A and B are shown apart, each in its own frame.
Chain A
Amino acid sequence: MSGGSYALDTDPRPGPLAAALSVVRRHPLAALCVVIALVALWLGIREGWHELAQATLNGIVAGNYFALGAVGLTLIFGVLRLVNFAHGEFLTFGAYMLIAANALHLPLVVSAVIGVVATAGLALSLEVALWRPVRRKRVGELQLLLLALGLAYVMRYTIAFVAGPEDRATGANVTAGVTILGLRIGRTELIVTLVGIAVIALVALGLRSTSLGRQMRALSDSIELSETTGIDTDRIVLVTWAISGGLAGLAGIIYALPAGTVNPQLGFTLILSIFAAVVVGGIGNAYGALAGGMLIGVAQEWSTLVIDPSMKVAVGFAVLILVLLIRPQGLFGRARSVDR
């Protein structure tokens, strides 16, 4: 070995707590696994292993749409430094497009594909008609944030205006169930979850080993550096919007199909948990968002074993606060910069 060692912590003599924290900071994933195992052990002994397994399964189901929603949100933030509050409405839009296509008596699978494509198209149109022009005019970051927040309201109420504020049926079969190893799961739920996991795997693979994925990760690291390596940043921004929108649309559909009904508040009820997933995973890190989504989903469902299910959204934020206290950059994020 010709390299030196890279000491991250400079405290000369840490106390036992500080020492433990520094181990956690340096090996966040190992520490996370230990924490998860301990919590699982506690819940399993207290509530029964079968209950825990069922809650875990429910958590993976929820983790799917959190992860799929989070990855698009994090990519857009990484690439454009835009906190897209209107991302939740992409989920809603995707679900409503599914219903619209369904109303034309198209098969559910075709309707789902239409929902995904339409949401990708919406994201692209917004980039061309709104985000790119305001970027070119050098609108400030706070203004962009407020713009996104306002856009979320406009989209939500436009959907409510067009489709009506009441619940609408998705047309999926929500009564049929399957029992695997003694665990109950809805048939539709099982199908969309498997699709979701497959898409998550594809996204992770695509980001890792395709040229496009590398360019997107490069852009989310530094737009200026990416430009100077010759990346056509405008093109990658468009592709990122399409992927972000498409995955959000899919997330909305994956949420809506097993639920059976949709209303215009769908995205709004999920967006905060999705934000938590993004931050837990490390803002701008796509793999982190995927893992963060799963983590938040499982944490919320596990919590229903001991607290009232209506409080589970708060659990996602408890996880978020804990992670931020110990590792401000998130699980997969890296400290400020590579410069040293």
Chain B
Amino acid sequence: MSATAETAEPVAPAPLLELEGVNTYYGQIHILQDSHLQVGEGELVCLLGGNASGKSTTLKTILGLVRPRTGAVRLGGEDVTRLPTAHRIRRGLAIVPENRRLFGPMTVLENLEMGAYLRPRTDLKEELDRVYTLFPLLYERRGQLAGTLSGGEQQMVAMGRALMSKPKLLLMDEPSMGLAPILVERSFEIIQQVNKTGVAMLVVEQNANVSLSIADRGYVLSTGRIVLEGRAAELLQNDDLRKAYLGR
């Protein structure tokens, strides 16, 4: 839809998200080193890595919360490297933040509305219905303060809030973190379900096994470098990865 940038190769459509040659620094510390990544229309991609591997920095670079020193971030082929966060969100990006961070002093409904406040209020009802269909519990809890919900419920609100903006690409920052195993499974079912509705996803995770089992493709990040990438099914078979992440 956004045929703004004239790219050199007119063959394939521009990927929804593209990082190219990204180098990000915090002060003098070189965090992301020549990082690259792509997410295509409707794809489910996971970005794996341990603590301090650069996962969060990658997300922040995509969102524009930190700016890379060199390299480019593109959304639908358009270079957004210099654009502030709000403008990137307007181009169809949404995030479910780490720890399902919500606006604690706001109700469930207000949190959901925050996800859609960029859009005309007339669409709101329709989007709310969609989210309530996906998470019927949120309808029951709509008047409750978000800060008083359990971890699993907060996950639903965070996911619902992100979906309210009708994103083309949804970023998920460690959805499994701090959730009981049964809820992790449920979370990833929901991720798959949402992905099937046509929303592309980039899932940033430590939990390689469960992420790769639902993803189309995966990247493995280690100390700021992409060290491995490929089809999820192949990565699951990769010996190095299995040793490093799957523990078997």
Contact = CB atoms under 8 A, between A and B. Distances in A.
Contact of B104 (A211, A228, A334): A334
Interface string B130-174: 000000010001000011111101100000010001000000000
Contacts of A227: 63, 65, 84-86
Contacts of B149: 3
B110 interface: yes
Nearest to B95: A228
A205 to B, nearest CB: 15
Interface string A218-235: 100110110111111110
B103 A215 contact: no
A339 B141 CA distance: 18
B104 A338 contact: yes
Interface in A77-106: none
Given A6-B148, A334-B104, A334-B105, A224 B114 contact: no
B60 to A, nearest CB: 9
A334 B103 CA distance: 12
Interface residues on B, range: 35 or more
Given A228-B95, A229-B161, A221 B65 contact: no
A contact patch SS: loop
A138 to B, nearest CB: 10
Contacts of A285: 105
B52 interface: no
A184 interface: no
Interface in A180-232: 211, 214-215, 217-218, 221-222, 224-225, 227-232
Given A229-B115, A230-B86, A224 B165 contact: no
Interface of A: 2-4, 6, 211, 214-215, 217-218, 221-222, 224-225, 227-234, 285, 334, 337-340
16 contacts: A214-B110, A214-B114, A225-B97, A225-B103, A227-B63, A227-B86, A228-B63, A229-B114, A229-B117, A229-B165, A230-B90, A230-B165, A231-B117, A233-B86, A285-B105, A338-B146
Given A214-B110, A222-B101, A234-B84, 20 more contacts: A2-B137, A3-B141, A3-B149, A3-B150, A3-B153, A6-B148, A214-B106, A215-B117, A217-B106, A218-B106, A218-B114, A221-B104, A221-B105, A222-B103, A228-B63, A228-B85, A228-B89, A334-B105, A338-B101, A338-B147
